[in-house]
Amino acid sequence: MKCFMPEELSGYCQKLLTGIGVDPWCAQVTADMLVDADMCGVSSHGVSRMSIYVQRIQRGLVAKENRIQIVEEGPSTLVVDAGNTLGAPSARFTMEACIRKAGETGCCFAAVRNSNHFGTAAYYTRMAAAQGMIGFACTNLTGKIAPHGSAEPFMGTNPFSVAAPSNGAPVVLDMTPSVVALGKLILAQKLGQEIPLGWALDEEGAPTTDPAAGRRGSLLPIGGPKGSGMAVMVEILSGVLSGAGWGPHLHDLYEFDAPQGVGHFMGAIDIGRFIPVDEFKGRVSDMAQEIKQLKRTEGAKEILLPGERSARQAEKSCTEGIELPQSVYEELAELGRPFGYSL
Amino acid sequence: MKCFMPEELSGYCQKLLTGIGVDPWCAQVTADMLVDADMCGVSSHGVSRMSIYVQRIQRGLVAKENRIQIVEEGPSTLVVDAGNTLGAPSARFTMEACIRKAGETGCCFAAVRNSNHFGTAAYYTRMAAAQGMIGFACTNLTGKIAPHGSAEPFMGTNPFSVAAPSNGAPVVLDMTPSVVALGKLILAQKLGQEIPLGWALDEEGAPTTDPAAGRRGSLLPIGGPKGSGMAVMVEILSGVLSGAGWGPHLHDLYEFDAPQGVGHFMGAIDIGRFIPVDEFKGRVSDMAQEIKQLKRTEGAKEILLPGERSARQAEKSCTEGIELPQSVYEELAELGRPFGYSL
């Protein structure tokens, strides 16, 4: 384990990205998003992704420039063509525009096409919450989830996030409609462990306890038709409405055949148009307190609100730094070597 | 079983409601919403609810008049005070206003307070889909779902719906974040059956297979923290943002202590601001076709899109009529007797 302060890690990632020719603002936002994920304890979406981002950029599969353009604009809507720019700046630019426009009309929703892996959806919805708004964000990804009743993958793991401010940390839901993320199968495989039935299907569509078979097959949605339906709706919002593609037509972050072509759908709703923001925040905090004081099930140490664990971890990371596993550290350090950057 | 044509059933319910003094438009919308649920095969939300609606109105717990008022209005937002009017007209009025305003600015979201049980969320989102828009609707209800880690109920079964048009029937997700609806516990209890572990907790917060114990205890959310988080977000949107109350502070449809005081959150997003509506519909239909043609799991006869079963059932009901169980028929007939109405 190596420990780094967030600014240090973020500065290094930014330098790496600008070093390979990425637009400075795009580099800054991408580094900030990745380090934010690590700060929040979501290390699967943190700087461990730098290597694949760099590889895709170097192979010309992601634009180095900022090619983000608003192509349609209404009083409360936006269509953004990301022009194959990195996902984080594309989504951040879009959420900033949504917040600005929601300040004028009360809400704004945007569809983004020709984009890339945007990291954690919560990174964008928390921007809205910080401005006294409700934030919404979702993205589609390559097909991994089997629709209910199907033996094959179709919808992406399609995360979506909703965030609302409180007097303390915002309440932030950020979830995929699959029972588990693909990462849990990868981990089980590494550790030589079986996975529980109900996580995945094998290539033939049969329930499996073998993580390798699950990776070749498909992930199962939560609640059967419910999670399946949510994943379909994220495809419709992110892939159909935006003019991007959907599930099986998208390209995987880890394959080098083509730009990903993913779409996002995001928006902001101005709380002050409904109720004074301070009153809203107070009411959310009151509700959160009531929830936290409920009787707990056996073995539960604490009842956590959505996003509470991440917020606590982020606060800790600010003072104590971010611990990187040796393998991630070495990968990052290796990336800097050609440029003479050391971490 | 008794069979009725939708207009016949709807006309009778409307007459019953106006007979006890309900505003004619409110009576019409309520009857239409209930019969629509029966047409769609969602009989738990159909005319079997007439009896409790009538009782609440007669006891003065729901207003007979149309007291729905827009209390705040921005270019793309609305706050509606339903004034304890019936839930269906309150929600329908609001969705109509959202659709109208979304036609002007591209999208509109509304919060509704002082409302009542609004029936099926899909009834409202399909209105938006029929106008070439994406519809969103959710409502909170009395606390039934235990937050993840809690041994007590707090959030309502909080249904939410998203609908999008296609070239055929719209794609309509309408779901509660609990593993099963309370109705499944009631049914198991009636039939003397056990329920599977994972559906409910007993009063002490322990997992139970006894439906009666589950009814006294709480329902479990799908996907643990995921469904729990979704239910919390619906409380925030429907209960906090609207100025209504949340979970434990609301009043139950089947208790006669006070007006329900529930809140809704709903909205419409104009597809034409993003992509030509015909193109959108075609793309949704293309995606649906691709999904339906996937290889099926063993035992699955067909892969259904969200809302597909309901749409098919509704079409069938139009020509073949709606079959009511004898008990529901007798209850309805009984309600008309004092007025000399016969069904």
DSSP state of A241: T
pLDDT at A240: 98
- Chain-centre distance for alpha carbon B176: 9
**Among partner residues A104, A107, A206, which is closest to B109 by beta-carbon distance?**
A107
* DSSP state, residue A296: B
Task: State the DSSP H helix or E strand holding residue B192, giving kind and residue range, or none if neither.
Answer: none
Tokens of residue A58, six digits: 């170097």
Mutate to test the interface with A, among B71, B81, B109, B172 (most CBs of A within 10 A): B109
Q: Which of B164, B118, B152 is nearest to B260 (CA)?
A: B118
Cβ proximity of B153 and B219 under 8 Å: yes
Contacts of A308 in chain B (CB under 8 A): none
Burial of B272-309, coded b for 16+ CB within 10 Å and e otherwise, reads bbbbebeebbebbbebbebbbebebbeebeebbbbbbb
Task: Select from B274, B280, B285 the residue whose CB has the most chain A CBs within 10 Å, as the one to mutate to test that interface.
Answer: B274
Whether B1 and chain A come into contact, CB under 8 Å, resolves to no
ipTM reported for the complex, 2 dp: 0.97
CB B286 within 8 A of CB B260: no
* Rounded Cα gap, residues A259 and A48, in angstroms: 20
Residue type, A148: H
Q: What is the pLDDT of residue A62?
A: 98
A111–B contact, CB cutoff 8 A: yes
Q: How far apart are CA B226 and CA B256, in angstroms?
A: 33
Rg (CA), chain A: 20
CB distance from B190 to chain A under 8 Å? Answer: no
Rounded to a whole number of angstroms, the distance from the CA of B71 to the nearest CA of chain A is 9
- Number of residue pairs across A and B with CB atoms under 8 Å? 245
A179 neighbourhood in chain B, CB within 8 Å: 223
Q: Which residues of chain A have pLDDT under 70?
A: none
* Chain B residues lying within 8 Å of A206, measured CB to CB: 297-298
Site from B113, B284, B297, B305 to mutate, A interface, most A CB atoms within 10 angstroms = B297
What is the distance between the alpha carbons of residues A85 and A327, in angstroms, rounded to a whole number?
Answer: 28
Chain B residues touching residue A283 (CB < 8 angstroms): 240
pLDDT at position A196 is 96
DSSP string, B248-313: GGS--TT--SS---EEEEEEEEEGGGTS-HHHHHHHHHHHHHHHHTSPBPTT------TTHHHHHH
B135 touches chain A (CB under 8 A): no
> Are A300 and B237 a contacting pair at CB < 8 A?
no
> Global pTM?
0.97
Query: Given an 8 Å threshold on Cβ–Cβ distance, is B106 in contact with A300?
Result: no
Residues of chain A positioned with their CB less than 8 A from the CB of B273: 72, 74, 77, 79
Q: Which residues contact B292 (CB under 8 A, 6 or more apart)?
A: B302, B303, B305
Contacts (Cβ under 8 Å, ≥6 apart) of A69: A80, A81, A83
Q: Sort out which chain B residues have CB atoms less than 8 A from A97's CB and list them.
A: none
Q: Quick check: B20 contacting A, CB < 8 Å? A: no
**Per-residue pLDDT, B187:** 85
pLDDT at B186: 87
Residue A148 is predicted with a pLDDT of 97
Cα–Cα nearest to B233, from B168, B136, B305, B303: B136
The amino acid present at B60, given as its one-letter code, is G
Report the chain B residue with the minimal C-alpha distance to residue A290. Answer: B154
pLDDT of res. B190: 84
Surface of A (145-164) touching B: CB under 8 A? 146-152, 154, 162, 164
Please check whether residue B187 touches A, CB under 8 A: no
CB contact (8 A) between residue A104 and residue B75: yes
Mean pLDDT by 10 residues, chain B (343 residues): 95 97 98 97 93 97 98 98 98 98 98 98 98 98 96 97 98 97 88 95 96 96 97 98 96 95 98 98 98 96 97 97 94 95 92
Which chain B residue has the Cα nearest residue A73?
B273
Place of tokens 């593609």: A245
Q: Which residues contact B204 (CB under 8 A, 6 or more apart)?
A: B151, B217
Q: Compare CB distances from A107 to B107, B242, B291 and report the shortest one's residue.
A: B107
Chain B contact for A179 (CB, 8 A cutoff): yes
Taking CB atoms and an 8 Å limit, are A243 and B179 in contact across chains? no
User: Chain B closest CA to A293's CA: distance in Å?
Assistant: 9
